[in-house]
A and B are shown apart, each in its own frame.
Chain A
Amino acid sequence: MNNLTIVQAHKGLLEKKFSALELTKFFLNKIKKQDKKISAFITVTDDLALSQAKKVDRLISEDKKIPILAGVPVAVKDNILVEGIKATCASKILENYVAPYDATCIKKLKELGAVILGKTNLDEFAMGSSTEHSAFFPTKNPHDLTRVPGGSSGGSAAAVAADLCCYSLGSDTGGSIRQPASFCGVNGLKPTYGAVSRYGLIAFASSLDQIGPITKTAEDAQIVFDVISGKDQLDSTSVESPKLQTTNYKLQTIKIGIPKEYFIKGMDPEVEKIVRQAIKEIKGMRAKIEEISLPHTEYALAVYYIIMPSEASANLARYDGVKYGLSKPDKDLLGVYLKTRAQGFGDEVKRRIMLGTYALSAGYYDAYYLKAQKVRTLIRHDFDKAFKKVDVIFTPTSPFTAFKLGEKIKDPVSMYLSDIFTASVNLVGLPAVSVPVGSIGKLPVGLQIIGKPFEENKILEISKIYE
């Protein structure tokens, strides 16, 4: 039962090589034994997983047709609500918060009989690029335990890489699915903004957040995306993806854009070499390669680090010690707010709330927030122009491989540079996947494939040539 993809697990269940209960117990056991050294999970949901598995076995024993995700074990990032299970967001402020309902994506998975193994670690409120900002413990990279798994979906990516689940769900605000997928050598899809309902995802930066799958293969990502996507009455920004003919294409007719701004000084030359090699490989299969320019790329990270904390500072105003979560008593209401938030939030969350509050405050709104939203338009125009010439865009996912634990934690700006190749995609709302294309020593390197809106299936289809 080692290293099963979704497709293989489904096949195994159909051919009765193992039961859903056996498969679930296998993973729960493996988590118990191996997660001590990786720390991918915050909560393991044994009871829930076993009861879901038994239901699927009942269907199989009755010879009922089962959906492809039925009985297949999944891990869920701990900022996505699973009814009756703690949703901590890796924060002290939500340490004992129990989700009162299912997120829409979880509801969809449960309806198909998915087996939820547990909730995975993240940077507190998904704010970070290494999972070291978790209020509980850092997660380690399964390829090298002295290194970070990336972040913020570090637990979800490490759990897939260490084969502690068949696939997982993460969330991506500026690279939080793709960068850890790249560091851990797995596939990570950030869907088009609006393609997947955000209902039940603990809000971070609402114009940027998207839920997406982290998987062992592109085919698995297509399967999960197909299930969790779609318009949801409970998220007014969700949309029905237009039915596009994206899987029937010939590689020879595909035009791939390589933006020169994504091969910069300061990036690891070995990473660049591996990504260039991957481009050469697809060129050898007769795809057309064209150098393009996305001239406002150099401003994307600054724009992202203004808009994201601004939205976060507003979203996190809800943690007031009154409605739910941590509450610290004081003599008056203001005192309750001040003390609860002082003790409930970690340093990085405070830093971003402060930054966002500053960018939105009187006298600075025009210079920072509004300016950033205007430059965002220019970044969008860059992609519009590029996509008139090419079908997809190839870039490195990250300028470097997984770094050492502790290496960047003290210097926020150097940590923020981890998002340099991924943040633009969120600002514009495009779909993108990180796919493993090689490694330096033990450390995986990811290629990012960016598509036009709603062309998730096309970028995943193209990424299959690297499997």
Chain B
Amino acid sequence: MKTENQKGWFFVLPVLVLVAFNALIPMMTVVNYSVQETFGDNVFFWEGLGWFEQLLRSERFHASLGRQFLFTGIILLIQIPLGVVIALSMPRSGFWVPVCLVLMALPMLIPWNVVGAMWNIFTLPDIGLVGYFLNHTLGITYDMTQDPLAAWITIIVMDVWHWTSLVVLLAYAGLVSIPDAYYQAARIDGASSWSVFRFIQLPKMKRVLTIAILLRFMDSFNIYTEPFVLTGGGPGNSTTLLSIDLVKIALGQFDLGPAAAMSLIYFAITLLVSWLFYTLMTRNDAQ
């Protein structure tokens, strides 16, 4: 016998209130800004969808969006395979397990701005350990403050250093949950180590890897602090990722309207890509 009443809503209410205060209301203010123009003094004029139109046609936006996708693409291509390889080579039992886990977790415990500052000092051509070593000992010209390619390599290496551990830990969790019987059966079946990876380990890691890719996509797509501290978006605009550009418009130029419109588009892209990715991965699962 099912009782029909509306009591259930009371149980949902706390979450609704919480979400309203931490997400919906702040976001609505952004929506509010995105359709208006102001010249200060808290006087606003209706702008409609003008900012959105202008932004979508702006070459500056296209360029930073392109850089953003390039950055995220590269770090996913490096971090996911690298993370899996490291997880595979970690011990499954014994004394070294906690040691490896702690070592892996260390980079993730460091605050973002510290990571940026660390790598900045680390790679400065004249005084940084790596910078000095490359330039003066190996004789390779490397200057991330002048050369866009060097700047890109530096932010990518930094992100790989900072976040590959996340992929490693997730992949490792997937690996250790595989019962021994699978490996034993594979040995008896005469499977090669590639077959073991392809038919046992990879399928069992698929779920955690989906999560890993999703998290790494969202985080890297929204990355701000580390590259900002490291390169400040330079040299020139070469490492001005979407979030850095957004802050420049919002706080540097104080163009609230265009910045708000940009945030919304930014948010929509992140949401869309995550959703697409998740749907594709899990649709495959259901078959």
Binding between chains A and B: no
The residues of B with any CB-CB pair to A shorter than 8 Å are none
